[in-house]
């Protein structure tokens, strides 16, 4: 059974850096073809893809957010970390991590709501 869970602050101030950790089980990020991605969803709005890291440490970022995002993995801990700098109220959203295989986001975490407010 594959599970993922996001962890991080629920409230951040504008200009601060957000750090989110995705802890997963049921698969290995050292297996060929496997990845972990991050997706966010502002309240009442659509899904927005953020970043993806593959088993071989290949990293992909949303072009519009690339300058603010960093994704890393710790295979031994079964964790993937996403950092987003210079947070703004428009970044208020539920942030999801997901297990990626063959291009699809096959399994999702429950999501964590991050609010950006002074």
Partner 1 sequence: QSVLTQPPSVSGAPWQRVTISCTGSSSNIGAHYDVHWYQQLPGTAPKLLIYANNNRPSGVPDRFSGSKSGTSASLAITGLQAEDEADYYCQSYDSSLSASVFGTGTRVTVL
Residues that bind partner 1 (CB under 8 A): 37, 39, 46-49, 52, 60-63, 96, 102-111
Rounded least distance, CB 55 to partner 1, Å = 16
Residue whose CB is less far from partner 1, 16 or 21: 21
Rounded least distance, CB 22 to partner 1, Å = 13
Beta bridge partners of 54: 35
Report d(CA 105, CA 118) in Å as an integer.
33
Residue whose CB is less far from partner 1, 29 or 52: 52
Residue whose CB is less far from partner 1, 3 or 78: 3
Residue 50's region, left for phi above 0, alpha for psi from -120 to 50, else beta, is alpha
Residues 6 or more apart whose Cβ sits within 8 Å of residue 11: 114, 115, 116, 117
Rounded least distance, CB 81 to partner 1, Å = 19
**What is residue 86's DSSP assignment?**
S
Handedness of CA 103, 107, 109, 115 (dihedral sign): positive
Residue whose CB is less far from partner 1, 92 or 108: 108
Rounded least distance, CB 60 to partner 1, Å = 6
């Amino acid at each position: 059974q594959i599970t993922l869970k996001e962890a991080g602050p629920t409230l951040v101030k504008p200009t601060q850096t957000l750090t989110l950790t995705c802890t997963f089980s049921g698969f290995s990020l050292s297996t060929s073809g496997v990845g972990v991605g991050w997706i966010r969803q502002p309240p009442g709005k659509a899904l927005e893809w953020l970043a993806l890291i593959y088993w071989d440490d290949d990293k992909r970022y949303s072009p519009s957010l690339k300058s603010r995002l960093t994704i890393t993995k710790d295979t031994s801990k079964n964790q993937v970390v996403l950092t987003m700098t210079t947070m703004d109220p428009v970044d208020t959203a539920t942030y999801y991590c997901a297990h990626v295989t063959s291009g699809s986001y096959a399994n999702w975490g429950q999501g964590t709501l991050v609010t950006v407010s002074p």
